[in-house]
Amino acid sequence: MIIGVGVDVCSFERFERMLARRPGIAARLFTEHELTLSVTSQAGRFAAKEALAKALGSPGGMRWTDCEVVRGDDGRPSFELRGSVRRAADERGVDHVHVSISHDAGLATALVIIEKA
């Protein structure tokens, strides 16, 4: 059963300006591995994390680095949830998180669907 849906769009240009304006924010948003990725990949992951928060009902107290977007062997993105984000998902009975990320026309778009059995 679907219990939440979230979507987010992130402009590459606006995202780059935010990173330049706010030194240190990248370390609060991304895991060590995510910090090594290109700005466009980071924008997609930022959109995915925002979409996940929306799907979970935007609970307070979640740390951005407690969810990481990873790629499977087939290239499909998925989330690794830890700490505060894992707790928020568990409180809602989340069994599975679906995520799709797209990059086009200077934008990253992400859709997240959360389910419970």
What is the distance of C-alpha 4 from the center of its chain? Answer: 14
Q: For residue 106, how many C-alpha atoms fall within 13 Å in the half-sphere facing its CB?
A: 5
The catalytic site residues sit at 54, 103
Residue found by looking up tokens 């980071």 in the block? 42
